[in-house]
Amino acid sequence: MIPRKLREYWLLIASYYFYMGWNAKYALLIGSSTAITYVSGLLLDRADHTKEERAGKLQKKLVLAACMAVNLGILAVFKYGNFAINSVNYILSKIHVSAVERRFDLLLPVGISFYTFQALGYIMDVYRNDVEVEKNPVRYALFVSFFPQLVAGPIERSKNLLNQMRSIDQIQVWDAKRVASGGIFMVWGLFMKMVIADRIAIPVDTVFNNFRMYGGTEIALAAVGFAIQIYCDFGSYSMIAIGAAKVMGFQLMENFNTPYFAVGIRDFWGRWHISLSTWFRDYLYIPLGGNRRGKFRKAVNIMIVFLTSGLWHGADWSFVLWGGIHGFYQVIEDVTEKFRNKLWKSMNVKTDCFSWKFLQMAVTFVLVVFAWIFFRADSIRDALGVIKRIVICQTPWVLLDGEIYNLGLDRIEMNILIVSLVILFLVDLVRYLKKQTLDVFLMSQNLWFEWFAVIGLIVMIFIFGEYGPTFDPQQFIYFQF
């Protein structure tokens, strides 16, 4: 209803209102990050037009380094201050030296890792001359704070989102097909979160919070359950963000593409949290040298990227170890690739059939679930305890004696979960086989089928969604990162 020229102002106000609804004070933090990167972009552009080329290059390097240092410094203080102090105290305790007393009493700002990386991605794009510098401060502030994906991604690129915002006055708001498509994304995201993620979280939390009371089978099922929980929880936010943006006429990048159909760890990271994995590829792995400096340097670069990714996810050594495990997986996968291909060929193994692909998916899934244990456990010691229980305390009879119905969900709730998981599997199977997102698939069907599916999902959300006065609200897992 407002004039086209006021759209970016209205969305900026809406975005800051949205963020301040959580904690008004921390709007100053995102505002500061925005101002620093905006001015840095202008300085980089100015350095590009310096008459003396050598001086201009030096200025650009200094501006980039200063901008990175300030923004990563802010991130470090709020997210890693106490982690660093605790780590130093642990080392000091081992050599019998008094501990550092000072701790940071700071609330971790929601989404700080996401909007910091998005802003730094823009600065590096400007530094490389991959995008034109944005001189409109309102438009740039909107790019950093755009509310659908502000607090949990996708981490957008300036080449995609900022370029769309530059033509915001040309968006046709009332596009029924596009609005319907965005609505389908949002409904599916709500289904993944409220019907699946928040329901499966109950047995997962029950087992992991008291893992010493359960046998190996229950713990293994909980580990698989967490793999599904974090996919549905994080994937649902991305779906809702993509859908909300699409309703308003913006196309965000896909963040998940059937990750548990991956046939290898490299393939998994091409499907899981795509916006982050490609960010690390473009702004860390390639600048480090990528695969251009030999096998050993490639392996080192992979490990640096994944250890950094683990640290990005959380200020705890268990997250760093989780990242390291995935880095180790990728290094082994890369180093042994030629040997494995020769081995399968010498053994006459058929590698172009369903059974081989299914085996690859199963092995990849097991490896990913194993790594998730370190992500979910409260500490590395607890993670090792969980693994030990799985290995030495086998209790397969719980699958037959009804014991799984004593993990927080009764028989009816467990059956609802099973039906929901079947629906999730079918939707992902369509995405995997037909290469179509749910909205494209449904809108290519007859109208009765499309409406039946969408209304059916909405009804299931209202009837079977986990909410209400007796429900303990489950925040999105990635809000803490």
Largest Cα–Cα separation, the chain: 80
Q: Roughly how many angstroms between the first and final C-alpha of the chain, as a whole number? A: 36
Q: Measured between alpha carbons, how far is 45 from 200 in angstroms, rounded to an integer?
A: 50
User: In angstroms, rounded to a whole number, what is the distance separating the alpha carbons of residues 390 and 208?
Assistant: 12
Active site residue 313: yes
The rounded distance, in Å, linking the Cα atoms of 293 and 80 is 32
Tokens linked to 159: 């080449």
> What would the two tokens of residue 412 be?
């009816």
Q: CA triplet 316, 204, 107: central angle to 5 degrees?
A: 35
All residues at 6 or more sequence positions from 371 whose CB lies less than 8 Å from its CB, including other chains: 322, 325, 326, 329
Which one is catalytic: 49, 96, 273, 313? 313
Q: Which residues contact 28 (CB under 8 A, 6 or more apart)?
A: none
**Angle separating helix axes 198-208 and 411-434, nearest 10 degrees:** 120
Cα distances from 141 to residues 108, 251, 255, in angstroms, run 21, 18, 23
* DSSP letter assigned to residue 215: -
Residue 284 CB-density burial (10 A; 0-12 exposed, 13-18 middle, 19+ buried): middle
Triad 296, 305, 104: Cα angle to 5°: 135
Residues with catalytic function: 313
